Amino acid sequence: MNKWDTETAEWYAEKYGEYATNKLGLESLKLEVDFSVVDIGCGTGCALRHASETITKGTLIGIDPVPRMVEIAREKTCGHLAEDRITYYEGSAEKLPINDAFADVVLAFDSYDHWQDQAKGLKEVRRVLKPTGLFVVVKDGGLPNLAGAKKEFLSGLLSAGFKVVQEHDVNEGDVSFSQWICITEN
């Protein structure tokens, strides 16, 4: 699937919308009740709904470039206990509709590879992160060491001014992913 459109969004929401990586990816984070979180490529909003269980006084924002995906996220959040604290916007990683130094945490759960311009997206992540903020990348199935994919990914983070402070793999049942928790370097 190369093109994200209405049909692809509905297929994704049906097949992966509530995928376990969303909840499991949040479990290793020390989220505070008043954090502000931005989820780039938020899909159905599942990660934000899970985060809202801990973040009871903060702001949760989902960004997705696919209009139908944003609609699905809003539909799934309608009636949720945190509905008034979760907002979704259409937008891309390369031009986030978020104020400077807004977020305590920026999530990229299975979305990083879909960014049109990863270097520009990483620059935007730095812009919207607070100086003490975390950037969290999850890649379903992990990153193969073949052909330098992992080296290229980590090099891109470093070039953008990020330092990986934690890297781990999660294998639980039929779910397998790698997670990188990053901070900004001055």
Query: pTM for the whole thing?
Result: 0.92
Q: Is residue 19 predicted with pLDDT exceeding 90?
A: no
Q: Is residue 29 predicted with pLDDT exceeding 70?
A: yes
Q: Which fold has domain 6-184?
A: Rossmann fold (3.40.50)
pLDDT tens figures, 110-163:
899 889 999 999 999 999 999 999 999 999 875 555 457 788 899 999 999 999
Q: Is residue 75 predicted with pLDDT exceeding 50?
A: yes
What value does the mean pLDDT of the chain take?
91
Residue 39: predicted pLDDT: 98
Of residues 186 and 100, the one with the higher pLDDT is 100
Instruction: Report, as an integer, the average pLDDT of 63-86.
Output: 96
The Cα–Cα gap between 128 and 130 comes to 7
Asked if 37 and 107 count as a contact pair (C-beta separation under 8 A), the reply is yes
Residue 142: predicted pLDDT: 59
